[in-house]
Amino acid sequence: MIKDIEVKKKLSSRWFEYLQSEICKQFELLEKKVSKKSKVFKKRIWHKKNKEEGGGISYILENGNIFDKVGVNKSTVSGKFQKKFRSKIMGAEKNGQYWASGISVVAHMKNPKMPAVHFNTRFIVTSKSWFGGGIDVTQSFKDKKERKELNKKLFRICKINNKNYQNYRKWCDKYFFLPHRNEIRGIGGLFFDYERDNWENNFNFVRNVGIGFLDITKKIILKKINVKWNTKDKEKQFLKRGRYVEFNLLYDRGTKFGLNSGGNVEAIFMSLPPNAKWK
Amino acid sequence: MIKDIEVKKKLSSRWFEYLQSEICKQFELLEKKVSKKSKVFKKRIWHKKNKEEGGGISYILENGNIFDKVGVNKSTVSGKFQKKFRSKIMGAEKNGQYWASGISVVAHMKNPKMPAVHFNTRFIVTSKSWFGGGIDVTQSFKDKKERKELNKKLFRICKINNKNYQNYRKWCDKYFFLPHRNEIRGIGGLFFDYERDNWENNFNFVRNVGIGFLDITKKIILKKINVKWNTKDKEKQFLKRGRYVEFNLLYDRGTKFGLNSGGNVEAIFMSLPPNAKWK
């Protein structure tokens, strides 16, 4: 059993880095599948103002054959939260110190019949330490079968790690909710946080969620790669993307965490769609 | 001197109603100037869940010859703020009761060389009562002359009402600011709040600001009605609209007030552009 927190930090941040490169590689392969004239990820490196407090690497691919925009971010940052924000982070109440490493992915698809997918896992250290993360899927068009398969896959990932999927699923529905519209953003998924009972088991779970996300996304894409769509479908997707923007700017904790921890604006807003509409 | 608060409520809300109809009329005339095949405003009426707490009327014109989207809202609402929100509103700390009437206008132009314009005035009553409001202009393309003329006009409106424009101008720059980008949203304008020293004078000022907004907007439009633009210019406008969305959802007090006072989502989000992009 690993007890040294520095070892835990190193293992988790290395995993996120490996997963980032794997996701980018696989997504580029999917792009190539459609056409040899395919786009590749652009790499951006950023540091916090105080370079000793870390930074991140973000990969963005835009105007692809499959992805309108997909961002794959990895960051490892540390520092001290401002006083007013401390009470909102477990274990940061006293001195506000934190260390955090994580990966997040948001993919907005060209084909409006394909859902947008979002994934994130993180390891956070304050006076306490824990894993958190999730996967969620946002359809512009209802597809019950897709939803069912998602649930099945996520259920299995949870089961082999002795985690209760029903709880995480409920948490996801509750989290990705727009109260001002009384509307759920997506079709659900998995949302977990404050996982701190057994580090090895939780780390394993986090790795399974990461690989699971890649599997799920590839399957969703391959299944719909030849599904036809028209401009009217695209309009519907643009309006759904408006909801995505509303959620991310009004409620998302990740956005708030990013803006409150001196994160890189471009990297934080990577989650925003390339465009959105409002009626 | 008017002392009765009920009379003040009636006079102010009637003014906002009159101004709303005047703005809609003038904007439709501008649309007709370009082509006889012009769009007209669509009227939407909404009520709070509890109908006794009021509601509003919003007029929206979309896909016009001049306006991509323009909304002209008037609402008169009352009620009790939720406890956690009370400390944020002057005079509502104790019992949370409020009454508010106001007009707000946001115009997103078809021609990207024309700036977006925003205007709002309101009369709010808690255990205290005051006027607030403002005008601000957001250019996608720098136009120093336009900015200069705006300042000149606003300066004059303030001067004849014994108001200090410099203070309001600074307040505007400070308010319409995106801290996460260290960027001012617009080119400035006028922002005032908590005007409660002399009701008659303040009411007069509010009326002058309203008529002034209409004058300013008409001049801006007529000056640029024939200015050429291309798709590249439009792209730039879409990105600027992204900033508009960020501000409105992350920081705008009006949006927060609306969402916290049981306002109508469509009416609150009228301020959002019809579309926006992010790089």
pLDDT number for residue B169: 95
Average the pLDDT over B96-119 and give the result: 96
Query: Residue B184: CB partners within 8 Å, gap ≥ 6?
Result: B173, B176, B177, B178
Sequence ranges of the domains in chain A: 5-271
Nearest to B269 among A273, A274, A278 (CB): A278
pLDDT beyond 80 at B260? no
pTM summary value: 0.87
Average the pLDDT over B13-37 and give the result: 96
Q: Which of A48, A160, A278 is nearest to B249 (CA)?
A: A278
pLDDT number for residue B26: 97
Residue B108 bears catalytic tag: no
Structure tokens at B174: 């400070």
Q: Give the A window 245-274 contacts with B, CB below 8 Å.
A: 245-246, 249-250, 259, 265, 268-269, 272-274
Which chain A residues are within 8 Å of B62, Cβ to Cβ? 279
Contact B155, B135 (CB under 8 A): no
pLDDT number for residue A47: 93
Contact A267, A58 (CB under 8 A): yes
pLDDT beyond 90 at B67? yes
pLDDT number for residue B188: 86
Q: Which of B242, B151, B194, B206 is nearest to A249 (CA)?
A: B242
Residuewise pLDDT in 10s, chain A (279 residues): 788 999 999 999 999 999 999 999 999 999 999 998 899 999 999 998 899 999 999 999 999 999 999 999 999 999 998 888 888 889 998 899 999 999 999 999 999 999 999 999 999 999 999 999 999 999 999 999 999 999 999 999 999 999 999 999 999 999 999 999 999 999 989 999 999 999 999 999 999 999 999 999 999 999 999 999 999 999 999 999 999 999 999 999 888 888 877 778 888 898 899 999 998
pLDDT number for residue B234: 97
Residue of A nearest to B63 (CA): A279
Burial class (CB in 10 A: 0-12, 13-18, 19+), B2: exposed
pLDDT number for residue B142: 95
Q: Is residue B2 less than 8 Å (CB to CB) from chain A? A: no
pLDDT beyond 90 at B261? no
Q: Which of B57, B72, B74 is nearest to B27 (CA)?
A: B72
Average the pLDDT over B156-176 and give the result: 95
Quick check: A269 and B276 CB within 8 A? no
pLDDT band of residue B83 (cuts 50, 70, 90) is confident
**Which of these is catalytic: A47, A108, A118, A180?**
A118
pLDDT number for residue B259: 83
DSSP B278: -
Element (H, E) at B110: none
- Cα-flanking dihedrals φ and ψ of residue B183, to 5°? -140, 135
Q: Which of B88, B271, B279 is best to mutate for the A interface (most A CBs within 10 A)? A: B279
| Average pLDDT of every residue of chain B | 94
Residue type, B137: V
CATH 3.40.1500.10, domain A5-271, yes or no: yes
Q: Is residue B278 less than 8 Å (CB to CB) from chain A? A: yes
Residue in the structure block whose two tokens are 């006028």? B190
pLDDT number for residue A9: 97
pLDDT number for residue B194: 93
Q: Which of B10, B9, B14, B17 is nearest to B59 (CA)?
A: B17
pLDDT number for residue B82: 86
pLDDT band of residue B258 (cuts 50, 70, 90) is confident
Question: What is residue A176's three-state secondary structure?
Answer: coil
Query: Residue B23: CB partners within 8 Å, gap ≥ 6?
Result: B72, B105, B213, B214
Quick check: B181 and A265 CB within 8 A? yes
Burial class (CB in 10 A: 0-12, 13-18, 19+), A102: buried
